[in-house]
């Protein structure tokens, strides 16, 4: 999990992201939650994007390359 930083996520989504990225760790379930500010043109209720809740973004991040170690 140390390789998946807010900075790397911000760089990965540089083409659509205008704001900051905040990373939250969920240690009890070994998970990460990222909040991408200003990525949906004003938020879920204002965007004209087809994927209103960012499900495509969560799928896209799975293709981000990380080191093996």
pTM: 0.77
Tell me how far apart the alpha carbons of residues 30 and 38 are, in angstroms, rounded to a whole number: 26
Structure tokens at 52: 């209103």
Mean pLDDT of the chain: 83
Q: What integer is the mean pLDDT of 16-25? A: 92
Residue 61 has pLDDT above 70, yes or no: yes
Tell me how far apart the alpha carbons of residues 42 and 60 are, in angstroms, rounded to a whole number: 20
pLDDT score of 15: 85
10 Å CB burial of residue 13 (0-12, 13-18, 19+) is: middle
Tell me how far apart the alpha carbons of residues 64 and 18 are, in angstroms, rounded to a whole number: 19
């Amino acid at each position: 999990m140390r390789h998946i930083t807010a900075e790397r996520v911000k760089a990965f989504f540089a083409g659509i992201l205008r704001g900051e990225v905040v990373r939250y760790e969920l240690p009890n379930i070994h998970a990460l939650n990222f909040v991408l500010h200003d990525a949906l043109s004003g938020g879920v209720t204002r965007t004209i994007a087809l994927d209103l809740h960012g499900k495509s973004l969560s799928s896209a991040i799975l293709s981000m390359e990380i080191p093996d170690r």
